[in-house]
A and B are shown apart, each in its own frame.
Chain A
Amino acid sequence: MKYFGLYNYWVFTLLLMIGLYAVIAKANLVKKLLGLSIFQSAVFLLYISMAKVDGGTAPIIQHADEPQVFSNPLPHVLILTAIVVGISTIALGLAIVVRIREEYGTIEENEIQARDRDR
């Protein structure tokens, strides 16, 4: 239990590595972006996991006589911002891939490099 109790963090590490692997190993630019997206999502999980408080609820004001334990709302808010950043990055990346396909006729990294050498 000592090492698997906080399994969220193991999942975070695993997702991070899967994403990074895809970015490095895949030649297809869209697959690279998918990897990048997984990589970023892993970090979202890290932040959300650290916000968890045992028995905590949503931070909304309740009746004063009930005991109030809240999850930490700050990481949730931060990640809301980070998700927007992530979406913008992937959207811009995909737009660049569309332009690359228009100019090079391919989205495979090695074929793009081969075509650049011929120029």
Chain B
Amino acid sequence: MTTTTSRGVRLTLRGAVLGRAGAPVLEGIGLDAVPGEILAVVGPSGCGKSTLLRTLAGLLPALGGEVAQDGEAITAPRAERALVFQDDALLPWRTVRANVELPLAIRGVPRAERRTRAESWLARVGLDGHGAKLPHRISGGQRQRVQLARALAAEPRAVLMDEPFGALDAQTRAGMQQLLVDVLHGTGATVVFVTHDVDEALFLGDRIALLPTGRVLDVPRPRERAAHADPATVALRREVLESLTPAH
């Protein structure tokens, strides 16, 4: 087990206008994600959560305001900001291992090292021995593990996750959330995790950002499911839920 040494970055939005040209979905949004934390972004469907993430990834240009990494404007995708999608983002013609190797190949890592690193990451997400399979031969939950391995194998400084467990059943989802916390531990990477599931946000997030307002709530630690029964968490949960109910 190697511990990655990647350091996190600070991702900042200041008065940002996001969306496609002529059709902004988020206006005047401000956010701050700091190294080593998981910032959970919660909001009702269609509020622009994915747009926010795509803009941070550099896939969509900001229409206005500031979108920056360590003070430098984000204008194009970069390998140091990995994006994890909801589903079907693995290349179906590549084996599981070849999918994990792809970001390493793009960075010019030699073949033998690529293979060792991919295998080691597959083992860390519990997919030892599945490397030679094609993505459609494994389950949906396993595919998301592969996506996680693919994102982390490249030692990114920021991991942007767009409802990565949204298509999974409740049990698998709980297992994946724990796995995510475990594998992220010690990487120091900045994580922005978009979800519409309040409990997922409470469990994973160090802080929760509510869209579309951009209001940020701190989540009490330690990170344990039992803690959900305590009054502070219950109050926090209610507050998040209320923010999700449309005002009109």
A binds B: no
CB within 8 Å of B: which residues of A? none
